[in-house]
Structure 1
Amino acid sequence: MTRVAVVLPTKDRPPELARAVRSVLSQTHTDWELHIVDDGSAAPASLATDDPRVHLHRHDTARGVSAARNTALSAAGGDWVALLDDDDLWAPEKLAHQLGAAATHDAEMVWTATLLIDPVGRVLRANPVMRPDGPETLRRFNVVGEPSSVLVSRAAVDAAGGFAEDLSILADWDLWLRIAPHVGTWALDEPLTAIVEHPGSMQIVGLTEIERELAVLAERHGVHPDSPEMELYLTGKRWAAHRGVRTTAAYLRASARTHGTRGALRRLAGRGRARTRLAPAWVSELMRC
């Protein structure tokens, strides 16, 4: 077996943290170590497990999500790094399937399809995987997606220098831009990661910060903040934060620009179908705990 270092930053989310930890404990691949970094929670984080693979660290003063991830990396061993945010969930087979894909496809970076769910576990949207067809694709948009879906070799993370601590919401994209051009990558079509959307989600409350960090990535890596994909991403976040006539119209225009009118309609229909989709059993079980 290959040891995996699981990196989990947290702040002021005890119920969500407990649920995320349970999703790690449920992994069918058992050779892992979990490093949780409490980034200055008002009440220090605590754990309801004595599993020796689980390690809890703390920043007495909040230093940001990237610093928390770097603290976990400094404390962790392992040949692989798996990222998990404290409000997200993993299917039990996630690590096992990703390690299998890495071996089969000679990849050092593997990510999965995701499900967007609401705080009670209802499916809002199924997000299929995207694959870069060259460095330019990743500069147009973060095709890798949510950090909680990613497994990456420790050697690649170390060679890239870890997370940039002046970034938060887009720090994962910054890291992928430094890693992906130099390693083999693979994307699993299976939705093995669940992203929980709630009012406190970083990407809903942090639109101004997203725009600031986009400017940083444009300077550092030549990303395209005005690409159709980024316009769709930003209008989608504005629509999620405030669903009104104006934000809905802007989102529809951006979707049509990116995918064409027919493609936009298919995506909207897909979202409608997703809302009637039953959550997988592993999501329902974790949400009940």
Structure 2
Amino acid sequence: MEANLVSIITPSFNSEKFISDTIQSVQNQTCQNWEMIIVDDGSTDNTVSIIEEFLHDNRIQLHRLDKNSGTGVARNTAISIAKGRYIAFLDSDDLWKPDKLQKQVEFMVSKNQPFTFSYYECIDEEGKALGKIIQAPKILTYRQLFWSNWVGNLTGIYDVNFFGKIAISSARKRQDWMMWLTILKKIKTAEPIPESLAIYRVRENSISASKTELLKHNYKVYRDYHQKSAITAAACMIGFLFTHFFH
């Protein structure tokens, strides 16, 4: 494990329209001590050939799965290869602002924090700003995270020296929320950097763009991760709805 190296975990699947900008946003970081591990999950478009154009940068790795297995499997594959002290996540259609890594690593070191995240903003598929910044509580507790996923996947970073490598759920959706819950169970509270350091792309087929899909996958988190009964999970969803839509 290399001291203060950041391992960036990036699953990709049919992202030919976005992957180039995503990689460039990593290359543009003011913090240059990183490795980017891209695991392609069986793309059938030009995603792989576009990624291969960046492999002259020896900090970027490409690994290909034999078949489409879901983002959980792709992320776990990347995590198993990672050599860094810090694990960060960036999906193949999202973007980081140039000072994202520097600010978060400096924050974690100066405050001796093993996990942090930040605010982020949203764009549409064409890159148009939606005028929306997603914020989080200044001190995030496990209880707050239980009711709503306040941590944007593209902003979270954790310290492997403290947690070890955390296995991602094999569920097709909401693996990130379950990972943050695992982290908060251990450290009880987490503090975000209270500014937008990343840009989330809201795509037409994403669960963030569909309230029905969001509810379905969040219900599964209460059922499968928290091991709640069907009735209790349904009651939890009422609390989720109140927190998510009326906060």
Q: Under TM normalisation by the shorter chain, which class is it? A: 0.7 to 0.9
**Residue aligned with 1:15, SS:** coil
What is the TM-score with the length of structure 2 in the denominator?
A: 0.85
**1:226 pairs with 2:233:** no
Identity %: 24
Task: Within 5 Å, give how 1:1-289 maps onto structure 2.
Answer: 2-43=4-45, 45-46=48-49, 47=51, 48-49=53-54, 50-118=56-124, 119-143=126-150, 145-158=151-164, 161-165=166-170, 167-183=171-187, 185-204=190-209, 206-207=213-214, 208-219=216-227, 225-231=236-242, 233=244, 254-255=245-246, 259=247
**Residue aligned with 1:226, SS:** helix
Alignment check: 8 A CA contact 2:141 2:184 kept:
no
Alignment check: 8 A CA contact 2:147 2:243 kept:
no
Alignment check: 8 A CA contact 2:6 2:88 kept:
yes
Deviation string, structure 1 residues 87-117 (Cα, Å, up to 9, x no partner): 1110000000001110122111110101011
Which structure is higher in helix share?
1
Which amino acid is the alignment partner of residue 126 of structure 1?
Answer: I
Which amino acid is the alignment partner of residue 199 of structure 1?
Answer: E
Which structure is higher in strand share?
2
**Residue aligned with 1:13, SS:** coil
Which amino acid is the alignment partner of residue 110 of structure 1?
Answer: T
Which amino acid is the alignment partner of residue 172 of structure 1?
Answer: D
Which amino acid is the alignment partner of residue 187 of structure 1?
Answer: P
Counterpart Cα distance in 1 of 2:241 and 2:92: 25
* Number of corresponding residues: 233
Alignment check: 8 A CA contact 2:94 2:201 kept:
yes
Which amino acid is the alignment partner of residue 171 of structure 1?
Answer: Q
Counterpart Cα distance in 2 of 1:58 and 1:82: 20
**Residue aligned with 1:149, SS:** coil
Deviation string, structure 1 residues 62-89 (Cα, Å, up to 9, x no partner): 1110110000011110100010011111
Alignment check: 8 A CA contact 1:6 1:35 kept:
yes
**1:133 Cα offset (Å):** 4.9
**Residue aligned with 2:128, SS:** coil
**Residue aligned with 1:14, SS:** coil
Counterpart Cα distance in 2 of 1:192 and 1:37: 24
Counterpart Cα distance in 2 of 1:29 and 1:72: 21
Alignment check: 8 A CA contact 1:101 1:186 kept:
no
**1:132 Cα offset (Å):** 4.8
**Residue aligned with 2:117, SS:** strand
**1:231 Cα offset (Å):** 4.5
* Higher Rg of the two aligned structures: 1
CA RMSD of aligned residues (A): 2.4
Counterpart Cα distance in 2 of 1:162 and 1:36: 17
**1:142 Cα offset (Å):** 1.7
Counterpart Cα distance in 2 of 1:176 and 1:156: 14
Which shows bigger deviation, 84-93 or 183-192?
183-192
**1:202 Cα offset (Å):** 4.0
**Residue aligned with 1:37, SS:** strand
Counterpart Cα distance in 1 of 2:152 and 2:64: 24
Counterpart Cα distance in 1 of 2:140 and 2:118: 17
Counterpart Cα distance in 2 of 1:158 and 1:80: 10
Counterpart Cα distance in 1 of 2:193 and 2:32: 20
Gaps of 5+ in 2: none
Counterpart Cα distance in 2 of 1:35 and 1:139: 30
1:32–1:71: structure 2 CA closer, same or farther, 3 Å change rule? same
**Residue aligned with 2:68, SS:** coil
**1:169 Cα offset (Å):** 2.1
Which shows bigger deviation, 89-98 or 129-138?
129-138
Counterpart Cα distance in 2 of 1:133 and 1:86: 27
